Amino acid sequence: MEYKLSLEETFVAVLETVDGLSGRVCPIQDIQKSTGPLAVFEQQEESEDNAIDGRTGLCTAMYKVHAMHGTYTKMRLLAEQIKKAIQSLRQHMEAPLYIEEVTITMASPDIYEDRVRLFRRTYKVTIQYQIKEEM
């Protein structure tokens, strides 16, 4: 049987296509690098719609993604590249995962993180997708 990526694995793989982010994308609970560039994500919610006769396979996942870099200019450029990469998820139609819609909004003002000495921009990402079981 052919291995299929989960939504989170697909999400990370897309983020790692951004220049400089290969091996530098991690969940917020697993930050091990303290220098930029860095993409840190946290899953906020995931749910599936149900119908009277059971599961529909229609799902929504919400993430926060933090673009982090050592200078404000580099962080802004990285954030824009990350945003474009996330938008490219709309073209993902590999069974059993079909991404229907991706919405990206800025979640908070840009800040400087004193503890790690990196600038940060945070996006809220909502992904609506379908899981189609193979027959």
CATH classification of the domain holding 51 = 3.30.2000.30
Query: Which residues are paired to 103 by β-bridges?
Result: 126
On whether the CB atoms of residues 97 and 58 are closer than 8 A, the answer is no
Percent of the chain with pLDDT over 90: 55
> What band does 46 get if pLDDT is binned at 50, 70 and 90?
confident
Q: What is the pLDDT of residues 3-17, one digit of tens each?
A: 356 888 889 999 999
pLDDT at 93: 73
Structural domain includes residue 2: no
Residues 70, 26, 99, 20, Cα dihedral to 10°: 40
pLDDT at 109: 93
Number of independent structural domains in the chain: 1
Structural domain includes residue 91: yes
pLDDT at 134: 56
pLDDT at 5: 65
Q: What is the pLDDT of residues 57-89, one digit of tens each?
A: 788 999 999 999 999 999 999 999 999 999 998
Residue 28 lies in domain: 7-131
Residue in this structure with the two tokens 């954030």, named with its chain if needed? 79
pLDDT at 101 over 50: yes
